[in-house]
Structure 1
Amino acid sequence: MYFQKYIRNIRKILSYKLFTGLVFSVLGLLLFSILYSNVKPETYDMELFSVADKTIRSPKTIEDEVKTAEEQNKAADEVEDVYVYKKEVAQNRILLLTSIFDFVNEVNHEESKKKKVEEKSKAEKDKLVLLKSKLTADVTEDVTESISDQTLIQLLEADPGELEKARNILISNVEALMNGKIREDQVNKVSSALIDRIRSAGMEKDVEKASIELGEYAIIANEVYDPRLTEERKQHAMDEVEPVKILQGQIVVQEGHLIDRDIYRQLDTLGLLKSKPTIKPFIGLAIFVLLLIGALYVPFTKLNEPEEKKLNYLLLLGIVFVGAIIVMKIISLMEGLEQYNIAYLFPAAMAPMLIRIMINERFALLMSIILASCGSVVFHDGISGTIDVEIALYILFSGLAGIMFLSDKSERFNLLRAGLLVSIVNILLIFFLQFIGSGQITNMEYLYFIINGAVSGIFSAVLTMGILPFLEAGFGILSTMRLIELSNPNHPLLKKILIEAPGTYHHSVMVANLAESACEAIGGNGLLARVGAYYHDLGKTKRPHFFIENQMNMENPHDKLDPATSKDIIIAHATDGAAELKKYKMPKEIVDIAEQHHGTTLLKFFYYKAVEMINDVEESEYRYPGPKPQSIEAAVISLADCVEAAVRSLKQPTPDTIKSLVDSIVQDRLLDGQLSECDITFKQLELVKTTFCETLSGIFHSRIEYPGNKEQKVM
């Protein structure tokens, strides 16, 4: 209660949004602080070319990009240049030589037809010009730039027979040599072979000289370098290289060994040097914390509850969550003990079960997921910056088991049953994780696993039972389990009603039956309605005989009292009951029902009696002080209280009379504005009336006379 008052005082200073933002910010900072040491990389004060004073292992698996690049370059260098053989080159060179000889013959033939005899030098010049013009115009390659004028003149002046011989020898030899693969660096060698063949053919010197120049011009490379294909093969070879990795747990440097450049670079890559710290793990942790806080924030904003209740839920979630993380952290600090994998001792089902009992199943599932995520960081096998997926699965499924095995209508004792079932699930999970890894497990390790799993489940239940009362009292949250305890007939207040006001007790039980059925029909909290109905008339125990249900074989004391006094006594039972409930530190919801179940209704009997005695009477003086019902449950109990008393007063209740009476009472309350401050709809009111009629017909069936046979009564 003191905690609630403290929160209310803070709420008076801060707005709802500001207070919510403050809580989420504090929660995020706490989570970051707790997980900080689990992601903080261990760094070493190492200098280049110094001697390592301890053996250092890699805290994570990471690619050595420098080594990988070296291996890729090595693989690319081993790829030979790619050459492509072009068969058409030989054919093109033969055609080129053929064209040259054809043009030479054509020019000689044209010049021989000229009738006028010209000087020899002028004739040679004209033929050379004509030949060059033809070679330039009709040959794809401008050969005149590569073949000298002297060679062309020698061809033009050669004997036709000698020219034909040179043609055949040159073309046949060029074709023979060009049919083989010739690279750029082999052109000179092939050209030399062609020259030897030409010289051995026995041609005239001038023709031989011209043929040699033509042959050297014709011989070119037909197997050429392909840069694109070469690059593709080099890239393929580089892609085939497996990345060089520094594996988690791998020894980077042995104690006493020299730290050379390669080792120093690896230490730098791993972020293990104090001189070059990395902030990446902290950025990663900040992102992780933001995701977790966001996972809590989104469903919290969608929660359809009053602001004060939402804040209670938020603080409860935060305290349970941080408490679970602290327990997780404490257990992780004990990993240095000899016990095998002490992480399995963590009571993973505790927080989800607490949230399941006090809030709802949705947030309990969310809590399991978030705790599993945090557990993967906290329990990292002693290597900073890593996560443990196995322990994450263990925490997740252990929490889910706790939620599933926790019955909605469980008593506290049944928490132990849920804990035992969670223990079994824990043990099965541990064995699954070990067996799937094909690990060698000793008998002692089997024993450790069984003990850890069992202790985790049972400890979860015990902690839940121990913490629950403090959270319920501190946050004023009325859980299902607390309601079940309050419904126990042995509760001191219920025994007080039964002993001091037995008629009121019976009336309260009847109202509870009506209210529970109606609330469940419209989606309200049926259990809260039942328990609230049990206690709603507690104030009548102060003066029980002034209420008609407790007046057995006695005169009505109101007959001897004036209306004002009777009114004060009757009205006081609502405030007296609320005061008594507060004295016993009963939940606020129960106190509100006792205080609100009559709203501001008018005590009509005493009011009209007073009017008859005194004309000038204020109606407001004969009304209950209120407040009007604020919740669906309080509204339903208010209607059920009036309906049950009215139907009980009927001498011969029938289904029709009950329905008529229920309709009248509900209509009267609506017109009086008694339901104006709660979120109950007309559709829900129709369901409430229908449920009342069905329940009352079942209760009073033995007294109902059915049409057609008034003498017959159902037993």
Structure 2
Amino acid sequence: MKTKRSAKLSQLIETLKHYKFIHISMYFLLAAVIFVSLYSNVKPETVDVELFTYSDQTIIAPTQAEDTFETESKRQEAYDAVQDEYVLRKDYVVNRVEVITSIFDFVKETNKEAADEMKLQNENVTEGEEAYTVSIEEKLIRLKDKLTEDIREKISDDTFTALLESSENELNIAKDAAVTAVNRVMSEEIPLQKQDEAKDLVEEDLTSSNLRADLLKAAIELGRYAVIANYVFDLDATEEKKQQAYDDVNEVQIKQGQILVEEGGYISRDIYRKLDLVGLLDNKLALKPFAGLLLMILLILAALIYYFEAPDRQPHRKNHSLILYVLIFSITILLIKIISFFQEINYNNVGYLVPVAMGAMLIKLLLHERLAILTSIIFAVCGSIIFNEGVTGTFNFTIGIYFLFGSIAGVLFLNDQNVRSRILQTGLFVALINIMIITAITLIQNGSYSNIELGSYFIMALASGLISSVLTIGFMPFFETGFGILSTMKLIELSNPNHPLLRKILTETPGTYHHSVMVANLSEAACEAIGANGLLARVGAYYHDIGKTKRPQYFIENQMNIENPHDKLSPQLSKNVIIAHASDGAEMLRKHKMPKEFVDIAEQHHGTTLLKFFYHKAKQNHPDIYEEEFRYPGPKPQTKEIAIISIADSVEAAVRSMSSPTPDKIEKLIRGIIADRLQDHQLNECDLTLRELDIIAKSFSETLKGIFHSRIEYPEITKQKVKQA
């Protein structure tokens, strides 16, 4: 009867997780669970007062709040009082000198081009013919074509003409004079309002230069053009200084417990505003706590959506994980809420009894550690609101810290060896952390508690840890069965050598068993190196060749002191026997109701690779044979773990066949196999990156080097005797 109920539950969950919009429903359900649980704890108290009336009671601020109006007013005053900041831009000197230099360089270039052109044209001029010349007007046109529009507009043609008519030596002298003058003047601060004075200084410097009149006038015009304001308004520095002044103003706070108005006091605008800020008015601001709760729920959902809606997650797997998460989360929140009701009978600090670590431990075991830590934070926040001891709008930070440390302790203490005894040990560890946290909080608060009170707290902390582990163990089979989950605990159970299928491999195909163990070692190390599931790869590798038990003698690792039966078979028949072990293994695993992950590993670990030996053997007799006839049917590896097992399977077999393996040979072989898989498109359907493949190759190499390490060659005993003689 129990089996039938489990089967119906599994069927229901399997149907739900393929429903297209189930994940949206789960997010809404999760939000509803949090809202309903926290609603009564955030519902605000209000007072009935009106502006410009007298209060009939003394009103005290129930919580601390910032007087934003007063704070902003003071901060704005400080912000506006800051003077503008200016900065000397030394890079302007370099830029403007480069402008002057480039103009002179273009003049030289234009003169040189004209000279070269005239020389070329006049080489063939006979006596009596007029020599070819380039006019100054043509040079001017060519020069202006090389200059920017700004320079063409602001520098006169007379200046360009004077430069073009000067010799190279005169140009060099004029350039040096202009550059020196500009450099000297612009080395000092030049505000915008003193820019004309700076231009006059450049002109004064150049006037004393020993240049002919027209060239001097040109140099002065270029110098005045080059000089610009270099002491400019620094927006960033000014804004930073203003912001610093703004930030230095402390917040104006309304303190919790502060008397806002005495009995009979006048409700002025200022007092009314303060009542408004602490949420004591019975108007729209009474909705603030609910808005805050909704915002907090949105933040929680955003974090969870970011995790569950990752692009690499398949829709049905996402739904599967989300349904499981919502179920665990709801059960944990329900336990917190139920136990919180005991606060109403004045049983204080009953929150220490909540087995909140159970939820975090179940999520770690069944989903992911990172998600478990995130959920621990969410439980701590929700718990601090639920156990706010009847004071709405406040947080019980003591219970929040207690929940947080207890939950994270449970997550971190669990490891890859999560057998039931380890879960019980984790419960004891959580209890110890709970007691330590209560002790720490008591000492920090410098509180005075009786021995009976402390004893009751410690007993509740101990019970919380133990109940968490017991409930975790109790819920695990339910979730594993209902959701078809391959948990760490389940993997460890399946790795037991006494499992019937592993015993079958060991007794019937010892060579295959040894090969599988080697593949498991390689796969686990490589998976852990890239962050994949190493334990799944290890245990799955144990079973990946279970299909070989059907015809063990046809596989070379099991052919001990027997004739190879393939010698008497055609390549086509041999191919059929070898290829069948993948489908035979998958069928055997299904028959024994093994996890789907193991079935996929057995079915996909060869992908659609080619049986090269039998293909080439067949091609010798039938040249027109097709490769597709000698390929595994697939599918190709769909996950990182299966792809790694696939590569490890080939690597182990190849290295075992090497006569004298060395580290260099091993690494070369590994990289060759990976390159061959890439070229054969065997890794196209899994999400391994090239960087991860490089890490996998290094991991395989290191593991195999440890197995095939060099050994010391000991001298022969006879040689030792000779030496001793």
Say whether the fold is shared (TM-score over 0.5): yes
Name the TM tier (shorter chain). Answer: 0.5 to 0.7
CA offset digits 1:472-516 (Å, max 9, x no partner)? 444445444443333332333222211221111001011122223
Distance 2:709 2:63 in 1: 79
- Correspondence for 1:605: 613
- Correspondence for 2:456: 448
Distance 1:423 1:644 in 2: 46
AA at the equivalent of 1:33: V
AA at the equivalent of 2:462: A
CA offset digits 1:223-264 (Å, max 9, x no partner)? xxxxxxxxxxxxxxxx999999689xxxx9xxxxxxxxx9xx
Q: Is the 8 A contact 2:638 2:686 kept in 1?
A: yes
- Correspondence for 1:23: 26
Distance 2:711 2:655 in 1: 12
Offset at 1:535? 1.3
- Correspondence for 1:135: none
Offset at 1:684? 3.6
Counterparts in 2 of 1:388 and 1:698: CA distance versus 1, 3 Å: closer
Distance 1:332 1:604 in 2: 68
Distance 1:62 1:385 in 2: 8
Instruction: Give the structure with higher Rg (CA).
Output: 1
Offset at 1:589? 2.9
Offset at 1:371? 0.8
Q: What is the aligned counterpart of 1:37 among 16, 37, 40? A: 40
Distance 2:256 2:371 in 1: 43
AA at the equivalent of 1:373: V
Unaligned runs of 5+ in 1: 45-55, 64-238, 253-261, 706-715
Offset at 1:374? 0.9
- Work out whether 1:628 is the aligned partner of 2:628: no
- Correspondence for 1:495: 503
- Correspondence for 1:405: 413
CA offset digits 1:648-693 (Å, max 9, x no partner)? 2334444455445434433433332222222233444344334434
Counterparts in 2 of 1:559 and 1:322: CA distance versus 1, 3 Å: same
Q: What is the aligned counterpart of 2:703 among 671, 687, 695? A: 695
Offset at 1:573? 1.3
Q: Is the 8 A contact 1:345 1:456 kept in 2?
A: yes
CA offset digits 1:44-78 (Å, max 9, x no partner)? 9xxxxxxxxxxx99999379xxxxxxxxxxxxxxx
Q: Is the 8 A contact 1:593 1:634 kept in 2?
A: yes
- Correspondence for 1:61: 62
Counterparts in 2 of 1:58 and 1:394: CA distance versus 1, 3 Å: farther
AA at the equivalent of 1:487: S
- Work out whether 1:313 is the aligned partner of 2:325: no
AA at the equivalent of 2:40: S
Counterparts in 2 of 1:374 and 1:692: CA distance versus 1, 3 Å: closer
Distance 1:581 1:562 in 2: 29
- Work out whether 1:286 is the aligned partner of 2:286: no
Distance 2:561 2:312 in 1: 51
- Correspondence for 2:520: 512
Q: Is the 8 A contact 1:639 1:665 kept in 2?
A: yes
- Correspondence for 2:395: 387
Secondary structure at the counterpart of residue 682 of structure 2? coil
Offset at 1:300? 4.1
Distance 1:57 1:371 in 2: 37
Instruction: Indicate the larger mover: 655-664 or 19-28.
Output: 655-664
Q: Is the 8 A contact 1:61 1:246 kept in 2?
A: no
AA at the equivalent of 1:28: A
AA at the equivalent of 1:389: F
Distance 1:59 1:316 in 2: 46
Distance 2:254 2:627 in 1: 95
Counterparts in 2 of 1:293 and 1:683: CA distance versus 1, 3 Å: closer
- Work out whether 1:346 is the aligned partner of 2:349: no
Counterparts in 2 of 1:60 and 1:422: CA distance versus 1, 3 Å: farther
Offset at 1:8? 5.9
Q: Is the 8 A contact 1:340 1:448 kept in 2?
A: no
AA at the equivalent of 2:300: L
- Correspondence for 1:326: 334
Unaligned runs of 5+ in 2: 1-6, 48-56, 65-251, 714-725
AA at the equivalent of 1:388: N
- Correspondence for 1:464: 472
AA at the equivalent of 2:561: N
Correspondence 1:304-703 to 2 at 5 A: 305-335=313-343, 341-383=349-391, 386-612=394-620, 617-655=625-663, 657-701=665-709
Counterparts in 2 of 1:57 and 1:501: CA distance versus 1, 3 Å: farther
Distance 2:499 2:329 in 1: 33
Distance 1:634 1:13 in 2: 27
Distance 1:653 1:275 in 2: 82
- Correspondence for 1:161: none
- Correspondence for 1:213: none
Secondary structure at the counterpart of residue 334 of structure 1? helix
Offset at 1:277? 12
Distance 2:673 2:280 in 1: 79
Counterparts in 2 of 1:483 and 1:637: CA distance versus 1, 3 Å: same
AA at the equivalent of 1:61: P
Distance 2:641 2:635 in 1: 14
AA at the equivalent of 1:29: A
Counterparts in 2 of 1:282 and 1:243: CA distance versus 1, 3 Å: closer
Offset at 1:593? 1.7
Q: Is the 8 A contact 1:519 1:526 kept in 2?
A: yes
Distance 2:599 2:659 in 1: 34
Distance 2:319 2:58 in 1: 47
Counterparts in 2 of 1:683 and 1:702: CA distance versus 1, 3 Å: same
Distance 2:32 2:253 in 1: 46
CA offset digits 1:318-370 (Å, max 9, x no partner)? 22221110011111123456865322110122222222333333322221211
Q: Is the 8 A contact 2:62 2:256 kept in 1?
A: no
Offset at 1:315? 2.8
Distance 1:341 1:702 in 2: 64
Distance 1:578 1:278 in 2: 62
Q: Is the 8 A contact 1:652 1:704 kept in 2?
A: no
Counterparts in 2 of 1:690 and 1:62: CA distance versus 1, 3 Å: closer
AA at the equivalent of 1:415: I
Q: Is the 8 A contact 2:60 2:258 kept in 1?
A: no
Distance 2:8 2:40 in 1: 35
Secondary structure at the counterpart of residue 297 of structure 1? helix
Offset at 1:455? 0.7
- Correspondence for 2:211: none
Q: Is the 8 A contact 1:375 1:391 kept in 2?
A: yes
AA at the equivalent of 1:397: F
Offset at 1:33? 2.0
Q: Is the 8 A contact 2:63 2:394 kept in 1?
A: no
Q: Is the 8 A contact 2:526 2:695 kept in 1?
A: yes
- Correspondence for 2:50: none
AA at the equivalent of 2:597: E
Q: Is the 8 A contact 1:597 1:634 kept in 2?
A: yes
Counterparts in 2 of 1:242 and 1:523: CA distance versus 1, 3 Å: closer
CA offset digits 1:550-602 (Å, max 9, x no partner)? 22222333344444443332212111222222334433333222111111112
AA at the equivalent of 1:22: S
Instruction: Indicate the larger mover: 541-550 or 405-414.
Output: 405-414
Offset at 1:394? 1.4
AA at the equivalent of 2:35: F
